[in-house]
Structure 1
């Protein structure tokens, strides 16, 4: 892999510097899987313990992610989103110069239950679309999405193909909103979120819940769950006038 030169730096530091340079330069892009420890050790002519210490230091610096049974991957850069604006997930991912994709996990239509009525403020007879999706940055999961759409307000959503176009993108294009609410919280990943986001159970996650309305009533309620170390929320504001 690399020709380690005889310098004043230790082998550990030289290997660390080389791998870090590959990541920072973009040679190893976000999502790239590093060679396994045994292969790195053989390539550099050092012990696995030395390589393990290097990878541990890179993980602590936030440059790589280490996953059980999968290996080590170059970490995705943290993305920031503004809570006073509504952007699509695709726009967030592309702002990091990453390829965007998504998968629709499930779609169903049903009448609102007690939990739904609290989430989206509709009556018991209201028909809702429920969607569950996973969004990706490159090959790595970026966030999960759980969404309710009010068919009384947006009846045309019933015929929309949300496996081809993400619901958030479709709604922004089709249904202008007049009011929005964001709620931000932190949770530990349960088994389902752990599997979908490919993170260990109990990993800290950032949850952004959003509700929007237009002149006809509630439009949608959506919950996005991000790995906590990959997302930040930013609010920009000015002092209120006296």
Structure 2
């Protein structure tokens, strides 16, 4: 009885130990998992027990097994629907990693020519520029740069965006009736590379969005993701015309 129960408990222990290190961010994407013979010695169990645990972790999408190279923590891969407005928290938590964000900067100013072009404003007025970084575990997930039209959302002037990020705050305070997405690729410049902790020149996915309330521009935002960790999905039906 005991000889059959022990491998099962060790299997669960190996699963739990490795999963915890990955989901907590202790083992970052790309980290090499100890080789099977190392885990066999560490847990004093059979190689079959270790192999079974690693296979289950690979099936769950937490690790990637490479022939002759070993097993590595897999880069979390997120999806976002381009026809919907998603909160970044939802995108991150869908990967199984814990979410948090940090506000980098917040500046109220009179709109520049570039601001007015981005927001689609006809005349100068007060805007709020906010920059944030969103994290999946301990790794940067997305850079956010946002302009808020304070004429349309005057109460945003009092919000510091330290405990709540701009997107869920705006959704909760300002109804929108139109949105526009623009999607493009870019090579990471020094600013983006530093924000996302990637090499300069790395491919990135850029999602730019504008929203309106009763024909009045509310906000313009640019999200930048490392291309290898994010994809956009659209589901649609054929025209009935």
TM-score band, normalised by the shorter chain?
0.7 to 0.9
Distance in 2 (alpha carbons) for counterparts of 1:91 and 1:223: 17
Cα deviation for residue 74 of structure 1 reads: 2.5
2:116–2:124 contact (8 Å) kept in structure 1? no
Against the structure 1 CA distance between its residues 241 and 215, is the aligned structure 2 distance closer, same or farther, given a 3 Å change threshold? Answer: same
1:22–1:28 contact (8 Å) kept in structure 2? no
2:159 counterpart residue number: 160
RMSD between aligned residues: 3.0
1:83 counterpart residue number: 82
1:181–1:210 contact (8 Å) kept in structure 2? yes
1:69 counterpart residue number: none
Q: Which moved more, 1:158-167 or 1:117-126?
A: 117-126
Say whether 1:143 aligns with 2:142: yes
1:113–1:124 contact (8 Å) kept in structure 2? no
Distance in 2 (alpha carbons) for counterparts of 1:163 and 1:203: 29
* TM-score, structure 1 normalization: 0.73
Q: Which moved more, 1:155-164 or 1:225-234?
A: 155-164
SS of 2:169's partner is helix
Summarize deviations over 1:155-188 as a string: whole Å, max 9, x none. 0110112111100010011111100000000001
Distance in 1 (alpha carbons) for counterparts of 2:156 and 2:31: 46
1:154-233 matches, within 5 Å, as: 154-215=153-214, 217-233=216-232
1:95-134 matches, within 5 Å, as: 95-134=94-133
Cα deviation for residue 216 of structure 1 reads: 5.6
Cα deviation for residue 224 of structure 1 reads: 0.2
Question: Alignment partner for residue 33 of structure 1, among 27, 31, 46?
Answer: 27
SS of 1:26's partner is helix
Distance in 1 (alpha carbons) for counterparts of 2:112 and 2:72: 41
Summarize deviations over 1:32-83 as a string: whole Å, max 9, x none. 437988xx69x95xxxxxxxxxxxxxxxxx957xxxxxxx973332111001
Distance in 1 (alpha carbons) for counterparts of 2:178 and 2:124: 23
2:106–2:160 contact (8 Å) kept in structure 1? no
* TM-score, structure 2 normalization: 0.73
Cα deviation for residue 94 of structure 1 reads: 1.2
Distance in 2 (alpha carbons) for counterparts of 1:140 and 1:227: 11
User: Any gaps of 5 or more consecutive residues in structure 1?
Assistant: 1-20, 45-61, 65-71
Number of equivalences = 197
